[in-house]
Amino acid sequence: DVKVTQSSRYLVKRTGEKVFLECVQDMDHENMFWYRQDPGLGLRLIYFSYDVKMKEKGDIPEGYSVSREKKERFSLILESASTNQTSMYLCASSAPDRTPYEQYFGPGTRLTVT
């Protein structure tokens, strides 16, 4: 059973703080993804990674960076948190060569920036 975990379910940070969100998967998946979910906007891709130390920008990378030092761990970094980054953040992982090609999501981190 695939397990994707995220470091926090709820997080409250102040404007300007550096924020780290961590995601760990235990299924040896090559691909990992960070999304943010906002009402009416669906799931928007921030960054993704196909391999260790590899990253690619998604649709909304501004204000974010990522790190993947180990295959099982993918971190999202907010260098200087702003109120417009208040959102639900979802991590996901997948194996591109294994059906049913599902992206397995973590439980999400609800981040509030005040």
Partner 1 sequence: GENVEQHPSTLSVQEGDSAVIKCTYSDSASNYFPWYKQELGKRPQLIIDIRSNVGEKKDQRIAVTLNKTAKHFSLHITETQPEDSAVYFCAASQAGGGNKLTFGTGTQLKVEL
Site residues for partner 1 per CB under 8 A: 31, 33, 35, 40-45, 48, 50, 56, 58-59, 90, 94-103, 105-108
Closer residue to partner 1, CB minimum distance, 17 or 56: 56
Q: Is residue 32 a contact partner of residue 46, using CB atoms and an 8 Å limit?
A: no
> Which residues have a Cβ under 8 Å from the Cβ of 114 and sit 6 or more positions away?
12, 13, 14, 15, 83
Number of H helices, E strands in the chain: 0, 11
Closer residue to partner 1, CB minimum distance, 76 or 81: 76
Closest CB 111 distance from partner 1, rounded Å = 16
Closer residue to partner 1, CB minimum distance, 18 or 57: 57
